[in-house]
Amino acid sequence: MSRYQLEFTADARDDIKRLYDFLIGIDRPVAERAMEAMESAFDTVCRNPFICRKATDGELGSRWRELLINFGASGCIALFEIENDTKVTITAVRHQRESDYH
């Protein structure tokens, strides 16, 4: 099984930093566990991005997907596009309790 190359948009990187900064202000070990959960989830995307659910019920097409990243009582959702047979781009990451991607 080939692995997909994983890239992040600047917005997605900003989202991850924002989430980390928020969590570290509350509890450093929780912030660290959240980042570990994200890394593990992103590794799953590199192996098989098509196992993730279609974003917006497939309205954007079959190549736009959402990755659920669980940790603690909640987690995050990452929006990504399967660009081609070798590349996946994470475009946004939000906490499950946020209203929507920005």
Of the pLDDT bands very low, low, confident and very high (cuts 50, 70, 90), residue 97 is: low
Domain range annotation of the chain? 5-95
- pTM, two decimals, is 0.86
- Report the candidate in 83, 95, 80 with the shortest Cα–Cα distance to residue 44: 80
The contacts of residue 47 (CB under 8 Å, 6+ apart) are: 1, 3, 4
Of the pLDDT bands very low, low, confident and very high (cuts 50, 70, 90), residue 83 is: very high
User: pLDDT tens digits for 17-46?
Assistant: 999 998 888 889 988 988 999 999 999 999
d(CA 1, CA 85): 12
What is the reported pLDDT for 74?
A: 76
5-95 sits in which CATH class?
alpha beta
What is the reported pLDDT for 58?
A: 63
